[in-house]
């Protein structure tokens, strides 16, 4: 049996997906990238191999993606996240016309055509506003964990308006809101709103087509997803492991690579 590996080395998480020849996901893993991306790639691969219960030698081809894609020495090919998220999202939800990936250090909106082909895209990678990093900084300030953000914001009956989009300014704004005794849930909901507004302006640049699929770690945050659904006036597909979508797309490309080679 042959297997195909995709590795996505992101700013925050490094993820692997292993596919078999029938394009079924047989193993995956999510680890922190940390300071050494080559080590993170090794670690995530080991874990995915354990889950798939196969030997490393069984991997026929590997495609790497993400900011750290150059630090995966064993990958045959390196492809950008844009192409990989589009392919991965299309594989999971074939009606996908638009992908929104919000990762740790950048966010992107991709318009997807037939077969998961990239038609158009736009990215925000100039600053942390509108990225997962923004939420991490705020969660730390509010002393809540990332997992809790979503539920807390859904509990809020009102929301506080956060006027700065800049992470540094928003942080000091949050400090003063806390000092004014605003409930944490309301502040969190305001922070989510601020992310959603940033994403909304990117979505508007491209225009929405077809179903929307969200990928990247922020898709795990129900608070952000529900506000975005409200704003887009349509439901959003979210896979149970949205962080592996990029690695999945890379694995699909690895499979394609092996097929065209033979």
Partner 1 sequence: MYLIKNLQYHFMKDLGLPALMRFSQRTKKRRPKKLDTCFGPPLTSTGRLKEIMTRHYLLSRYAEGARPVAWVTSGAPVELLRAFEFYTFYPENHGALCGAQKVGSELCEVAEGKGYSQDLCSYARIDLGVCFSGRTPVGKLPKPDLLFASNNICQTVVYWYKVLAYHWKVPLILFDTPYNFKDIADSDISYMVGQLEEMIPVLEEVSGKEFNYQRFQDVIRLAKEASLTWGEVLATMKARPAPMTIFDAFGHLAPIVSLRGLPVALNYYRVLLNELNDRVKKGIGAITDERKRLMWDNIAIWYKVRDLSNRFAERGMNFVAATYTNAWAETISYLDINHPFESLAKAYSLVILNNNLNHRFELMERLVKEYGVDGLVIHSARSCKPYSVGQYDIKRLLMDRLGVPSVVIEADIADSRVFSEEQTRTRLEAFFEAMEA
Ligand X SMILES: Nc1ncnc2c1ncn2[C@@H]1O[C@H](COP(=O)(O)OP(=O)(O)OP(=O)(O)O)[C@@H](O)[C@H]1O
Tell me the three state secondary structure of residue 235.
coil
CB of 25 to ligand X, least distance (A): 17
> Which partner, ligand X, partner 1, Mg ion, none, binds residue 207 by CB below 5 to 8 Å per kind?
partner 1
Q: Is 10 in the site for Mg ion (CB under 5 A)?
A: yes
- By CB under 5 A, name the one of 6, 68, 103, 249 that touches Mg ion: 103
Tell me the three state secondary structure of residue 224.
helix
Q: Is 150 in the site for Mg ion (CB under 5 A)?
A: no
> Which partner, ligand X, partner 1, Mg ion, none, binds residue 178 by CB below 5 to 8 Å per kind?
none
> Which partner, ligand X, partner 1, Mg ion, none, binds residue 119 by CB below 5 to 8 Å per kind?
partner 1
> By CB under 6 A, which span of 54-62, 87-95, 163-171, 215-223 interacts with ligand X?
215-223
Order of all β-strands in the sheet with 96-102: 118-124, 107-112, 96-102, 211-215, 236-238
CB of 245 to Mg ion, least distance (A): 8
Which distant-in-sequence residues (6+ apart) come within 8 Å of 240 by Cβ? none
> Between the CA atoms of 39, 68, 239 and 148, what dihedral angle is there, to the nearest 10 degrees?
70
Interacting residue ranges for partner 1, rule: CB under 8 A: 67, 79-83, 111, 117-123, 125-126, 205-207
> For residue 161, what are its two tokens?
């308006």
CB atoms within 10 A of CB 131: 27
CB of 95 to partner 1, least distance (A): 20
> Which partner, Mg ion, partner 1, ligand X, none, binds residue 194 by CB below 5 to 8 Å per kind?
none
Q: Is 4 in the site for ligand X (CB under 6 A)?
A: no
Which distant-in-sequence residues (6+ apart) come within 8 Å of 242 by Cβ? 214, 215, 216, 217, 219, 220
Segment 13-42, which members bind ligand X (CB under 6 A)? 13
Cα Dmax for the chain: 66
Sites of contact with Mg ion (CB under 5 A): 10, 103
């Amino acid at each position: 049996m042959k297997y195909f590996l995709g590795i996505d080395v992101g700013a925050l998480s490094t993820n692997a997906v292993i596919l078999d020849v029938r394009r079924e996901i047989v193993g995956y893993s999510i680890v922190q990238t940390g300071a050494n991306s080559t080590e993170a790639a090794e670690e995530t691969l080991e874990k995915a191999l354990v889950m798939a219960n196969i030997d490393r030698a069984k991997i026929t081809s590997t495609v790497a993606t993400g900011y750290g894609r150059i630090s995966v020495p064993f990958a045959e090919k390196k492809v950008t996240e844009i192409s990989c998220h589009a392919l991965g999202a299309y594989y999971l939800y074939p009606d996908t016309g638009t992908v929104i990936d919000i990762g740790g250090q950048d966010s992107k909106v991709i318009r997807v055509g037939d077969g998961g082909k990239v038609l158009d895209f736009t990215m925000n990678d100039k600053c942390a506003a509108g990225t997962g990093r923004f939420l991490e900084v705020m969660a730390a300030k509010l002393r809540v964990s990332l997992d809790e953000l979503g539920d807390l914001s859904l509990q809020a009956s009102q929301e506080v308006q956060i006027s700065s989009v800049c992470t540094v300014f928003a942080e000091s704004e949050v400090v003063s809101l806390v000092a004014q005794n605003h409930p944490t849930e309301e502040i969190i909901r305001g922070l989510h709103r601020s992310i959603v507004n940033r994403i909304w302006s990117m979505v508007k640049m491209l225009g929405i087509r077809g179903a929307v699929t969200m990928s990247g770690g922020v898709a795990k945050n129900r608070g952000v997803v529900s506000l975005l659904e409200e704003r887009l006036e349509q439901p959003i597909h979210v896979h149970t492991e949205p962080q592996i979508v990029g690695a999945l797309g890379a694995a699909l490309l690895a499979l394609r690579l092996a097929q065209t080679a033979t």
